[in-house]
Chains A and B, each alone.
With several copies, the nearest count.
Chain A
């Protein structure tokens, strides 16, 4: 197994130890159970922004804990949702008195575990809201599937909501912002290679030297279609067009209703992109694709957005939400207002994302 690891059973612990050793000024790692909070402790009077999910997507989420982004992150086992008690303890450690917003990627496990965590925290008197991110257009409908996966939009939402939380936005407004940003975002991913989870030691799928997978998620799972490997222009065009021409998307969301004191389901519809939209464009490496190739993707992606009358006002290019050492990339486009752009430009200082301070 081509990995820089020791015993597969200790991978997460040791990598977190390394992370703690590297960034004692930024983060504090709790072991047993695992959660990562800001080195400076909770932000008094501000909503605590928390996320979490299976490990293997680094720098997400632990690398995004710090000023202007997350207050805490819960790493699960590799590709496995963390558990409610972990999330609950992270919420208690990060809570600054103004409630907690959990950013939850839409996977059956993550959603269920974060719901249970929210219930535990609320039983402790902490106000908690869960907003689910589901931006992956590779999953077509929500009626016959577990719904769209939460992928690249998560990173952008953590940055933007993190800036808003830093500025003191209250839980309700922050939840609205988070929901809006998710509704404004769509993503699509592809893989040239599979990846190897340390405990299994072999690739999660076999793929020929001349093949690729389109419509993958971030867990080494096969995508929606296997094809002959194409040029970057063809790949970037297919992905961008899938995102831009994706129609209205409707699914049922579940959020906590603080007046009724219960989970309430609502039907929510995302509108398609339209000419004149301003977007943040995010070209992401799945871990094994170098940034040089991402620039090749960006080039064609921008050609396509230009042609559609979509204006890229900000971008992010690099390995931010990965699937271990998988080769491949994803594209995320998120429609933004001027106010959102200001949040994007606001200072951020985390192990994985830094600017403005």
Chain B
């Protein structure tokens, strides 16, 4: 079970880790993008963090939707609408819930990821956050189906996410700014995939 407190924790931890890695993510984006991904994620999640106290009376679905609105209106760039859509779709599916079991987790994640795919039209292999989000969504669905605990599922999700990040390195980008570079996008790690991995790791750590 993931409690509402753990969800709030997740958001705080995400904000913290993105703040710590602001320079790092921006540096990744400098190589194959426009040098702002860390700043964008920091700006958005810092705002999310500042609003956590407002969520006391909300259910998990409403919290995630509020996060979505905050990200959409503060992040900008490509990652703003993409992460915004993730939380919006995830929140919509979790409407009214006070806690999440394994099935909910899987449904939530799948809804978020499908939202990102619809919005951004990226496929696995395009060197985007989808290279982390899609395998993680699949792993969570499988693990839960196979009866793994939420905690184990999330630990495994982190491994999958880390592998997803590493897998972006040799890819030639087909979506986002990195795609303009063609062959020159090779041998660089995708910044959005990296921030997605960090957010998944934050969730796992919050749940334990």
Contacts and interface: CB of A to CB of B under 8 A. Distances in A.
* Physical contact A–B (CB less than 8 Å): yes
Interface of A: 33, 54, 76-86, 107-109, 112-113, 116, 138-140, 144-146, 149, 197, 199-200, 204-205, 217, 219-222, 224
A85 B72 contact: yes
B34 A204 contact: yes
A107 B177 contact: yes
A222 B174 CA distance: 16
B175 A146 contact: yes
B184 A200 contact: no
Interface residues of B, number: 34
B40 interface: yes
Interface string B170-208: 001111110111101000000000000000000000000
A244 to B, nearest CB: 21
A224 B182 contact: yes
B149 interface: no
A200 B40 contact: no
A145 B180 contact: yes
A221 to B, nearest CB: 5
Given A204-B30, A219-B34, A81 B78 contact: yes
Contact of B76 (A81, A140, A197): A81
Contacts of B180: 138-139, 145-146, 149, 217, 221, 224
B77 A81 contact: yes
A79 B175 contact: no
A82 B176 contact: no
Given A219-B177, A221-B180, A80 B82 contact: no
B73 A84 contact: yes
B77 A109 contact: yes
A217 B33 CA distance: 10
A355 to B, nearest CB: 33
24 contacts: A77-B36, A80-B77, A81-B80, A82-B76, A83-B73, A84-B73, A108-B177, A112-B120, A113-B76, A144-B174, A144-B182, A145-B173, A145-B179, A197-B36, A200-B30, A200-B39, A205-B30, A217-B180, A219-B34, A219-B177, A221-B33, A221-B34, A222-B184, A224-B182
Nearest to B37: A80
Contacts of B72: 83-85, 116
B174 A108 contact: no
Contacts of B119: 112
Contacts of A108: 78, 120, 175-177
Contact of A224 (B36, B82, B175, B181): B181
B168 to A, nearest CB: 16
Nearest to B33: A221
A184 B30 CA distance: 32
Interface in B19-46: 26, 30, 32-36, 39-40, 43
B81 interface: yes
Contacts of B81: 84, 109, 112-113, 116
Contacts of A54: 34, 36, 76-77
Contact of A146 (B34, B75, B177, B184): B177
B176 to A, nearest CB: 5
Nearest to B182: A224
Contact of B36 (A78, A83, A113, A116): A78
Contacts of B89: none
B74 interface: yes
Contacts of B175: 108, 146
Contact of A220 (B34, B77, B82): B34
A136 to B, nearest CB: 8
Contacts of A144: 172, 174, 179, 182
B177 A197 contact: no
Contacts of B36: 54, 77-80, 197, 199
Interface string B159-176: 000000000000011111
A278 B177 CA distance: 32
A86 B76 CA distance: 10
The 3 closest A-B pairs by CB, nearest first: A219-B34, A109-B78, A145-B179
Contact of A80 (B40, B73, B173): B40
Contacts of A224: 180-182, 184
Given A113-B80, A221-B33, A221-B34, A77 B177 contact: no
A298 to B, nearest CB: 26
Contacts of B177: 107-108, 146, 217, 219, 221
